[in-house]
Amino acid sequence: MDTKRETIEKLKKEKNAVILAHYYAPPEVQEIADYIGDSFYLSKLAVKLTNPVLVFCGVSFMGESAKLLNPEKTVLMPDASADCPMAHMVEQSVIDEARARYEDLAVVCYVNSTAEIKSWSDVCVTSANAVKIVRNLPNQHILFIPDRNLGHFVAAQVPEKHFLYNEGYCPRHEFMSADEVRVLKDAHPQAQILVHPECNNAITAMSDYIGSTSGIINYAKEHTDCQEFIIGTVSGVIYKLQESRPDARFYFPATRPSCQDMERITLDQVIHVLKTGENAVAMPPESIAEQAKQTLTRMLELAQ
Ligand code: 13P
Ligand code: SF4
């Protein structure tokens, strides 16, 4: 009897497929993935890979972005229902009203958004490149959608521009408890606090570092003089953190933040989509796809 890992290896060869996983996927999924990364790394990678089949262990906006950038490839989602609630949290009227008010407006859209929302926007960003891209845009007025927390984080780094915000948020990061982080800091006063910019203001205000999932992992890797870290993001990142800093200790808020949708992905689902080709991401309608692809392509160009 093959182990699940052996079955996946065989099927990958048969189909010439490659497996991509986000850092929030369960550890056993990250273990069998060919590439693990943050949203920016995975979207760049999807363009570079030559395999005709990509299995994307993430949520729907990730698979959809990979499909938009690679229309000729088959993108398979092990769990077709894995979605990001924030990816839907903006109304078109917010954009229309802002465009009517400011002629010189750039609509900057977090990659955690549907293809339709991307199609309303001028450029896409991820948490790893948002500051750089927004700073270099020629526009003075920026509407940041859908995440208000990432929008405020970028605005603080780019004070020379005027920002408009939208009321979207990631429930996992927004409702993380600052009191729980304070309890951890009291118990481990030497620990540095590393958080994702999707966190609420009370949490970012007490942090030592704010960055994307890969930013957090790299920070812990480079700061070897520190042995303890309090982590303000989804606990799936522990897999890579422990691998890169086996000597360090990592603490998460007691109400362990989890991205339930990504954490549902199983090896059996990976095997199933590889065997059957089910859950292939459909190309969005033409009226949306072209502009949505442009916002993503512009991000890849401006982030160079
Ligand atoms: P990263 O791009 O930092 O991996 O973040 C993606 C995400 O969904 C965070 O909640
Ligand atoms: Fe979306 Fe939040 Fe999950 Fe990230 S952690 S994919 S923002 S629900």
Per-residue pLDDT of the chain (304 residues; tens, 9 = 90+): 679 999 999 999 999 999 999 999 999 999 999 999 999 999 999 899 999 999 999 999 999 999 999 999 999 999 999 999 999 999 999 999 999 999 999 999 999 999 999 999 999 999 999 999 999 999 999 999 999 999 999 999 999 999 999 999 999 999 999 999 999 999 999 999 999 999 999 999 999 999 999 999 999 999 999 999 999 999 999 999 999 999 999 999 999 999 999 999 999 999 999 999 999 999 999 999 999 999 999 999 999 8
What confidence score (pLDDT) does residue 304 get?
87
Question: For atom 1 of ligand 2, which residue has the closest CA?
Answer: 84
Helices (H), 56-114: 60-69, 92-101
Query: For a pocket test of ligand 1, which of 44, 198, 231 has the largest count of ligand atoms closer than 8 A to its C-beta?
Result: 198
Q: Is the Cβ atom of 85 under 6 angstroms away from ligand 2? A: yes
What confidence score (pLDDT) does residue 213 get?
98
Q: Is the Cβ atom of 84 under 6 angstroms away from ligand 2? A: yes
Distance 147 CA to ligand 2 centre (A): 11
Residue 84 CA: which ligand 1 atom is closest? 8
How many Cα neighbours within 13 Å face the side chain of 258? 12
Question: For atom 3 of ligand 1, which residue has the closest CA?
Answer: 212
Question: For atom 6 of ligand 1, which residue has the closest CA?
Answer: 39
Name the pTM for this structure.
0.96
Phi, psi of 233 (to 5 degrees): -160, -175
Q: Is the Cβ atom of 112 under 6 angstroms away from ligand 1? A: yes
Question: For atom 6 of ligand 2, which residue has the closest CA?
Answer: 84
What confidence score (pLDDT) does residue 1 get?
61
User: 279: phi > 0 → left, psi -120 to 50 → alpha, else beta; which?
Assistant: left
- Cα 204–205–207 angle (5° rounding)? 60
Q: How far apart are the first and last CA of the chain?
A: 47
Q: Is the Cβ atom of 60 under 6 angstroms away from ligand 1? A: no
Strand residue runs (E) in 139-238: 141-145, 162-165, 192-195, 209-210, 228-232
What confidence score (pLDDT) does residue 2 get?
75
Q: Is the Cβ atom of 170 under 6 angstroms away from ligand 1? A: yes
CA dihedral 158, 161, 165, 169 (to 10 degrees): -10
